[in-house]
Amino acid sequence: MNNFWNGIVGLLLLAMLPSCLPEAIEDKPILEDGVSTLVASPTFEWATTKSVEIKLNGLTLPVDISRRLTLKTADGDIFYANSHNIKDDLTLRFSLPNHVSQIKMVYGTLEKTQDIKNQKVVFDYVVEIDNSDIK
């Protein structure tokens, strides 16, 4: 009886074996004329990244203040982090994905977000103050 069930299982496995074999590939080319028939719009950008210049304008202060400077995308992906003196101007150039449209700067507790315009972003340390703390 045991040999009977072993035989049945063996036949089922043998019947399923052709489904594991790769399918035959047709000999026809995908494009009849090759890739020469492919036409892209003249404004189409083949690059997946863009070069972005980031400029940070320092402040004139009588004391040195250094904090961690972090630059990240709006999605939160950090692409630069280093200690930086608030007095120093800084110009950096990065290759960023095309879909990135905003850069976020974090300097200590100061956070600012700027749009990328003409492949440039300019940051400063000036904080806008309102009258919300005056009673």
Residues β-bridged to residue 52: 94
Q: Where are the domains of the chain?
A: 49-124
pLDDT recorded at residue 130: 75
Q: Which residue has the tokens 């320092």?
A: 58
- 20 vs 71: CA distance, rounded Å: 50
- The CA-atom distances, in angstroms, between 36 and each of 27, 33, 44, 112 are 20, 6, 17, 47
Q: Which CATH class is domain 49-124?
A: mainly beta
pLDDT means over runs of 10, the chain (135 residues): 74 68 61 65 83 94 91 94 94 94 94 95 85 71
pLDDT recorded at residue 34: 60
pLDDT recorded at residue 85: 93
